[in-house]
Structure 1
Amino acid sequence: MSLVQAVKDYVSKMITESEPGYKIMLMDKETTSFVSVVLGMSEVMRQEVYMFERIDQTSSGENMSYLKCLVFIRPTRENIELLTRELQKPRYGAYYIYFSNVISKSDVKLLAEADEHEVVRDIQELYADYQALAPHLFTLNMPVHSQGLKWANGALQRTCQSVAGVLFSLQFLPYIRYQNNSEMARSLAENIRQTILKEGSLYSNIGAEGSMLLLIVDRRDDPVTPLLQQWTYEAMVHELLGVNNGRVSLAHVSGVTDDLKEVVMSPTQDEFYSQCMYLNYGEIGQTIKDLMEDYQRKLSKQQKVESINDMKHFVESYPQFKKMSGTVTKHVTVVGELSRLVGTHNLLGISECQQELVCGSDHSENLQRIYQLVTDPKVREMDAVILVMLYALRHEGHPNNDVRGLVNSLRKRSVADHHIKLLSSLLDYGGARARQSDLFGTGVQDVASIRKRLFKGLKGVDNVYTQHKPLLIETLMEVVKGRLREGAFPYCGNPPASPPVRPQNIVVFVVGGLTYEESAAVHQFNINNPGVRVIVGGSSIHNSTSFLCSVDLAMEGIPRKTLRI
């Protein structure tokens, strides 16, 4: 039950089922990302794939009829038109066409009519219509999914196709439940249900139906998690550097070499990263130190070339040695930049304040600490704004709420008006009136009783609060205990006569996007709950910047309910 393996198997199927010989892969922008995050292009090329092309960027070039063409595209209207033109003037000797989802009979007819040269050898549907970032994690990589609080044009269909693709690829025929106060979640649930009913023949085994659940939730129910400073390696990289299709730009880092200006940070293509992505900041520092020491030991051995046998051994081990050298250089550079940002911008102090704010109960102490940080010139503008946002969410109904005073402090440091207005938008988007959960009710505890986690390894990292747990994990616990309230999460369609007490396989989709913190929490949840397997996906993978952009877009044109600040 691995999404990464499912996509890999589909790619392998495309390559091995075609005739032997050199091939090219013709993909669209999205399927290119689907493949590239799970397989390095060099790995695909070792399987007789000669080169890669984008169907939306091809031009009438030379005839290469000696090559076979593997087409892997989404079944969109634009792609069908582009493929039709390609078949009318074919550049390759044979075409094996694979769609990432269900294709209509009318579109198949259009392709057949265009194939006047009879170059199409096969047309198949595969269901890799999502970006698999980890065995348990997928995303649509779709930052714009809503207009106001409704689905944007085409977004509902796109989301339905991708989530259904996950279910089809894993052969999951689930019960469907959705967040009751979210119209977007309800409409998605109903569309997926209709798709499953229509395409039921795609399931080869429906015997385990009662043990599977698709749960659709809305980001609006937990606006806190995307705003918190992250401390696992994967989440830190995305929050502070940004990850795009498994790649990270380091072009801004002082003194970085050309080959490190963009690096691959994908667990499917970097063994060290896959082993360390869920470690916290201090642990990754120690792990990098151990990696460097191991590299230095091997380097010293390689330098002792005194005989023919030594030379032979050096030549045989050189590829692995060079790969290790690249791994060390890359991760030392990345962790070094993370460390610089943490120290320069006082992110440890900010994170401690954030954690005390969302998990603690002392309003006056929270307020005093936020005032200190908001007025500190060393604190970045957006970090100050996010602290005020978290305060506004956490103490929205407190009788001594002082959001106006904090906003005045932001204005004194010349924070942009747009960011001030965004605070009001956030309260309308995910404030108490927009949520159906008691987001802070179970998390309230005395700060003095919260044990600080000691971070090992990096000098200067003493302790940081990391006790916050995403609402998603609390919801999953209710699911596996059979306590998820039907009033809050009704079934789509008629409720089952005998609902599963403990689903064995759960797919969660977060309308509005999820975070790497939630991914790490689900990974740990799977470890802690043997017999239950959770896969989680979302419209996109958020850091604080992308989340606030999505809030801004979602609330554009929506009348304000909260008091203007």
Structure 2
Amino acid sequence: MSVVQAVKNYVNKMISESEPGYKIMLMDKETTSFVSLVLGMSEVMRQEVYMFERLDQTSSGENMSYLKCLVYVRPTQDNIRALCHELQKPRYGAYYIYFSNVVSKSDVKLLAEADEHEVVREVQELYADYQALSPHLFSLNMPIHSHGMKWGSGCLQRTVQGLAGVLFSLQLLPTIRYQNNSEMARSLAENIRQTIVTEGSLYTNVDTEGNSLLLILDRRDDPVTPLLHQWTYEAMVHELLGVNNGRVNLAHVPGVSDDLKEVVMSPTQDDFYARSMYLNYGEIGQTIKDLMEDYQKKLSKQQKVESINDMKHFVESYPQFKKMSGTVSKHVTVVGELSRLVGTLGLLGISECQQELVCGSDHSANLQRIYQLVTDVKVREADAVALVMLYALRHEGHPNNDVRGLIIALRKRNVGDDYLKLLSSLMDYGGARARQSDLFGTQAPQDVSAIKKRLFKGLKGVDNVYTQHKPLVLDTISEVAKGRLREGAYPYCGNPAPTASKPQNVVLFIIGGVTYEESAAIHQFNTNNPGMRVILGGSTVHNSTSFLASMEAAMDGLPRKTLRI
């Protein structure tokens, strides 16, 4: 059960089912990212795909009727209009049209009426309507999704389409559960259920009913995880450099060469990255060193070209050697920049404080350390504000809570009003009154197992002070695996299947976005629990910057009740 393989299969199906000969692929902005994340363009071109075009950027160019056109677009009204215009004045000899989701009969009729030259050979629905980032992780690439506690305009429909696409492409007919205190989760669950009923004929090889679960969660239940500095390679790249559709911009790196100003960081196109993305900061340095040593050994062998056979071997191995050279250059540059930023920004000290804050219980020590960092001019404004946000969430109900004092400290270092407003928004967005889970383990435990968990959690020792925190989603999926997910907190949508208590396949979807820390946790869970497979997805994949922007958009214009600043 892999979302990457599901999308790959659809793309290969499109290419293989058309007539032999050179083709072009006509896509929209979103489907371009769907394809590029799972297949390199060179890999697609090896299958007789000659050129790539964007439907929203086409202009009336030369007639190329000798080419066939593979159209892969989302079934939006803009795309339907653009396709009709394309078919009225066709530039290619034949069109094979594939929609990434269900398309209405009325839209198909519009295309048929526009096809006066009878160039359309095929119209099909595929269900690759999402970004497959790794085998167990998908995103709908929707950074902004809500306003207040309600769905933003068009966002519910897009989420239903994307999430239903995941279920259809994996042929999962799930029991559906949702976070009880989230009206958005409830409405999404109901719409997904209705879509499955309406489009039930799309299931051709469905898994046994009751073996699968769709669990819909809300980001508000865990606003902590997106605010923390993370130390896996994948998460560090996203937090410090930013990843956009599998690409990282390195143009700002001092002395970077032109060919490294933008690099691909996708596990489907970079074997080294796929092996290293879940390694922590300490491990990745040694792994890079090993990669360089291996490269140097092969380089020394390549330099000994003394015979015809040596030359033949060099020519045969050159493409692989060149690829390895590019891999080494890319990752040395990326890790070098990460290392520079960690040192320059003092992130080790900040992260240690964050971890002790959210995982420890010593309010006085936490407060003292935060004051030290907040008043340190070497600490970035964003990191200082994030520390105060974490403190406000962690010690919201503490009798000696000193959020106001920390705000005064932020004002003294001239932190902008936008950041201070975000602090107020955060408490309304994800404070204690907005959550249903015991995020910090501070509520009175209800049973013996919960008491033991709290008593002995701190006795096991901490292997790494920077990775003490475990995201809430890991506790949630562990409860699912044990068949102990509380129905009161996560009710069923419709009647539960009789075997749904311990499903074999789970799709976890987080309204408001996921993080790479949560992805790493689910990857580890899948590794440790081979009898159960979990797919994680969300509205988008957040780092701290995008999370705060998303929260700001959600709370914009709403009254702030929790914290007056």
Give the TM bin, normalised by the shorter chain: over 0.9
Secondary structure in structure 1 of the residue aligned to 2:420: helix
Alignment-derived partner of residue 459 in structure 1: none
Distance verdict in 2 for CA 1:113–1:55, change over 3 Å: same
Distance verdict in 2 for CA 1:479–1:374, change over 3 Å: same
Query: Hey, what's the Cα distance between the residues in 1 that align with 2:332 and 2:243?
Result: 17
Measured after TM superposition, the shift of residue 303 of structure 1 is 1.3
- Matched positions, count: 555
Measured after TM superposition, the shift of residue 205 of structure 1 is 3.4
Measured after TM superposition, the shift of residue 448 of structure 1 is 7.6
Distance verdict in 2 for CA 1:252–1:447, change over 3 Å: farther
Secondary structure in structure 2 of the residue aligned to 1:56: helix
Alignment-derived partner of residue 411 in structure 2: 411
Query: Hey, what's the Cα distance between the residues in 2 that align with 1:513 and 1:426?
Result: 15
2:477 aligned with 1:476: yes
Query: Hey, what's the Cα distance between the residues in 1 that align with 2:455 and 2:278?
Result: 26
Query: Hey, what's the Cα distance between the residues in 1 that align with 2:2 and 2:558?
Result: 40
Measured after TM superposition, the shift of residue 453 of structure 1 is 2.8
Q: 8 Å contact 2:211–2:503 — kept in the other structure?
A: yes
Give me the TM-score of the superposition, normalised by structure 1. Answer: 0.97
Query: Hey, what's the Cα distance between the residues in 1 that align with 2:198 and 2:102?
Result: 11
Measured after TM superposition, the shift of residue 206 of structure 1 is 4.1
Q: Deviations over 1:459-496 (max 9, x none)?
A: xxxxx421111000100011111111111111112344
Distance verdict in 2 for CA 1:448–1:535, change over 3 Å: closer
Measured after TM superposition, the shift of residue 376 of structure 1 is 1.1
Q: 8 Å contact 2:130–2:140 — kept in the other structure?
A: yes
Alignment-derived partner of residue 50 in structure 1: 50
Q: 8 Å contact 1:359–1:445 — kept in the other structure?
A: no
What are the equivalent positions in structure 2 for 1:227-246 lying under 5 Å apart? 227-246=227-246
- 1:104 corresponds to which letter in structure 2? S
Query: Hey, what's the Cα distance between the residues in 1 that align with 2:309 and 2:285?
Result: 37
Measured after TM superposition, the shift of residue 270 of structure 1 is 0.5
Alignment-derived partner of residue 512 in structure 2: 512
| Identity between Structure 1 and Structure 2 (%) | 81
Q: 8 Å contact 1:28–1:54 — kept in the other structure?
A: yes
- 2:466 corresponds to which letter in structure 1? Y
Give me the TM-score of the superposition, normalised by structure 2. Answer: 0.97
Q: 8 Å contact 1:132–1:138 — kept in the other structure?
A: yes
- 1:453 corresponds to which letter in structure 2? D
- 2:355 corresponds to which letter in structure 1? Q
2:392 aligned with 1:392: yes
Query: Hey, what's the Cα distance between the residues in 1 that align with 2:454 and 2:541?
Result: 27
Alignment-derived partner of residue 457 in structure 1: none
Secondary structure in structure 2 of the residue aligned to 1:96: strand
Measured after TM superposition, the shift of residue 452 of structure 1 is 4.0
Measured after TM superposition, the shift of residue 300 of structure 1 is 1.1
Query: Hey, what's the Cα distance between the residues in 1 that align with 2:409 and 2:101?
Result: 52
Distance verdict in 2 for CA 1:250–1:206, change over 3 Å: closer
Q: 8 Å contact 1:452–1:465 — kept in the other structure?
A: no
Stretches of structure 1 that go unaligned for 5 or more consecutive residues are 455-463
What are the equivalent positions in structure 2 for 1:166-245 lying under 5 Å apart? 166-206=166-206, 208-245=208-245
Measured after TM superposition, the shift of residue 332 of structure 1 is 0.3
Secondary structure in structure 2 of the residue aligned to 1:291: helix
Query: Hey, what's the Cα distance between the residues in 1 that align with 2:268 and 2:414?
Result: 44
- 1:153 corresponds to which letter in structure 2? S
Distance verdict in 2 for CA 1:444–1:432, change over 3 Å: farther
Alignment-derived partner of residue 537 in structure 2: 537
Measured after TM superposition, the shift of residue 499 of structure 1 is 4.7
Alignment-derived partner of residue 487 in structure 1: 488
Alignment-derived partner of residue 279 in structure 2: 279
Q: 8 Å contact 2:234–2:516 — kept in the other structure?
A: yes
Alignment-derived partner of residue 37 in structure 1: 37
Alignment-derived partner of residue 463 in structure 2: 453
Alignment-derived partner of residue 3 in structure 1: 3
Secondary structure in structure 1 of the residue aligned to 2:90: coil
- 1:182 corresponds to which letter in structure 2? S
What are the equivalent positions in structure 2 for 1:124-143 lying under 5 Å apart? 124-143=124-143
Alignment-derived partner of residue 360 in structure 2: 360
Alignment-derived partner of residue 159 in structure 2: 159
Q: Deviations over 1:490-526 (max 9, x none)?
A: 1112344x25221000001100000000001000000
Which 10-residue stretch deviates more, 376-385 or 299-308?
A: 299-308
Instruction: Output the aligned Cα RMSD.
Output: 1.3
Measured after TM superposition, the shift of residue 444 of structure 1 is 6.5
2:390 aligned with 1:383: no
Q: Deviations over 1:401-420 (max 9, x none)?
A: 01011111111111111101
Measured after TM superposition, the shift of residue 421 of structure 1 is 1.2
Q: 8 Å contact 2:173–2:207 — kept in the other structure?
A: no
Alignment-derived partner of residue 306 in structure 1: 306
Q: Which structure 1 residue ranges, 4+ long, deviate > 3 Å from structure 2?
A: 442-452
Query: Hey, what's the Cα distance between the residues in 2 that align with 1:564 and 1:242?
Result: 33
Query: Hey, what's the Cα distance between the residues in 2 that align with 1:70 and 1:313?
Result: 39
Query: Hey, what's the Cα distance between the residues in 1 that align with 2:458 and 2:368?
Result: 16
- 2:66 corresponds to which letter in structure 1? Y
Secondary structure in structure 2 of the residue aligned to 1:531: coil
Alignment-derived partner of residue 373 in structure 2: 373
Measured after TM superposition, the shift of residue 446 of structure 1 is 9.5
- 1:471 corresponds to which letter in structure 2? L
Distance verdict in 2 for CA 1:447–1:356, change over 3 Å: farther
Secondary structure in structure 1 of the residue aligned to 2:166: helix
